[in-house]
Amino acid sequence: MIENYVAGGLGVGLSVAVPKNAQSPKVRALPLPEFSPVLIGALWRRKMSPLLAAFLDEAKARARELM
């Protein structure tokens, strides 16, 4: 969404580079090589619902695809 705003002329933005994702020709990437990889976690307080379990399964599968 940030890339769409920037491409539309609505200012500057900071986002992450997603492997295998094409970048709009209307934006310019400025790599920041000294940043560590981003880690994403999930936390819940009650019993895991089937919906949450399905979401976590999909998130893990997508992460494996990006590696």
User: What is the span of the domain harbouring residue 52?
Assistant: 2-66
Counting the structural domains of the chain, the total is 1
- Mean pLDDT over 11-25 rounds to 83
- Mean pLDDT over 49-66 rounds to 90
What would the DSSP string read from start to end of 22-43?
PPPTTS-----TTSPPPP----
pLDDT of residue 54: 96
pLDDT of residue 28: 87
- Mean pLDDT over 5-20 rounds to 86
- pTM of model > 0.75: no
Q: Is the pLDDT of residue 50 over 90?
A: yes
pLDDT-above-70 percentage for the chain: 100
